[in-house]
Amino acid sequence: MGKLQRSEAEWRAKLNTKQFAVCRRKGTEPPFQGDYWNCKEDGVYLCTCCGEPLFDAQDKFDSGTGWPSFTRPVDTQCLEEKADSSHGMIRTEVLCAHCDAHLGHVFPDGPAPGGLRYCINSVSLQLKPRTG
């Protein structure tokens, strides 16, 4: 599957102001305010921009940071990582591999066994409840 290509005008028409600022402009939502930071519902979290499955609710944990945190993606191929030296620190940015939406960052301070914490903005995600 190739990259989803849309113009800035198309993204602005599809996304609300917060979604556009985070997903297309690499913003960050305030902690403890997004829809999913404390969500306990079961399902799969999809990319807000393109609908690709990114994270499973069963891999979600409370990191205490105020953002949804996951131990792993549903598939390593669904994410891309880039070095991010903005804001005076070195981090690893996480993007949707299908549409290049900024999702958040991954840190090496997560729980065992993998030790990773995918710290993701709620506005970058859409929860699809698990059925059946």
What residues act catalytically? 119
Whole-angstrom distance, CA of residue 55 vs CA of residue 74: 5
Quickly list H helices, the chain.
8-14, 17-23
Terminal CA-CA length for the chain? 29
